[in-house]
Amino acid sequence: MTDACFPAFPILIKAPQNMMDINEIRELLPHRYPFLLVDRVVEMDLEEKRVRAYKNVTINEPFFNGHFPGHPIMPGVLIIEAMAQAAGLLGFSLMGAKAAADTLYLFVGSDNLRFRSPVTPGDQLTLEARVLSAKRGLWKFECQASVDGRAVCSGEIICAEQKK
């Protein structure tokens, strides 16, 4: 017997192709816990070369134990790393590649980096990146992290391809 609210056969709804869940993210990025800082991609536009993703920030993050105990704040370098990982997802998707065993894409610099507000447990950190240039293995991205629509960090991130 089936209930009207619960059909006998589940209905499978496929997510739009421009979204990625954590399993698809793990196929592209080599990062793993505790350094995988992107939980979901909600929009990827390969024609406009931009991505929007997010990181759910919880009190269970290991860095909160020692980063301002009693007043937990997400470290700025990890916000930058989260933006770089979102940019990396975009770069890998544009190249049609996955994290290769013989190649690393390394964070090599940033320009015009600004922090505007702290990120605390309970925040959902929205990560946006757009390709500014890609030449000879160097990628430059315009990135922004925001919480509830207000920017908390922005800047340009530069990544470089390096053979292992």
The pLDDT tens digits of the residues spanning 27-63 come to: 999 899 999 999 999 999 999 999 999 999 999 999 9
Written as six digits, the tokens of 21 are 């869940």
pLDDT category, 6, cuts 50, 70, 90? very low
What structural domains does the chain harbor?
Answer: 22-163 (3.10.129.10)
3 state DSSP class of 10: coil
Three-state helix/strand/coil letters over 120-152:
CCCCEEEEEEEEEEEECCEEEEEEEEEECCEEE
The pLDDT tens digits of the residues spanning 119-152 come to: 999 999 999 999 999 999 899 999 999 999 999 9
The catalytic residue positions are 67
Predicted pLDDT at 97: 76
Predicted pLDDT at 17: 59
The pLDDT tens digits of the residues spanning 76-130 come to: 999 999 999 999 999 989 988 777 767 788 999 999 999 999 999 999 999 999 9
Written as six digits, the tokens of 119 are 């990120």
Per-chain mean pLDDT for the chain: 89
Q: What are the φ and ψ backbone dihedral angles of 27, each rounded to 5 degrees?
A: -70, -30
- Beta-bridge partners for 159: 107, 139
Written as six digits, the tokens of 23 are 């399993």
Predicted pLDDT at 4: 52
Long-range contacts of 28-32 (CB under 8 A, 24+ apart): 28/88, 28/89, 28/92, 28/93, 28/98, 28/99, 29/85, 29/88, 29/89, 29/92, 29/99, 30/99, 30/104, 31/85
Predicted pLDDT at 13: 42
pLDDT category, 14, cuts 50, 70, 90? very low
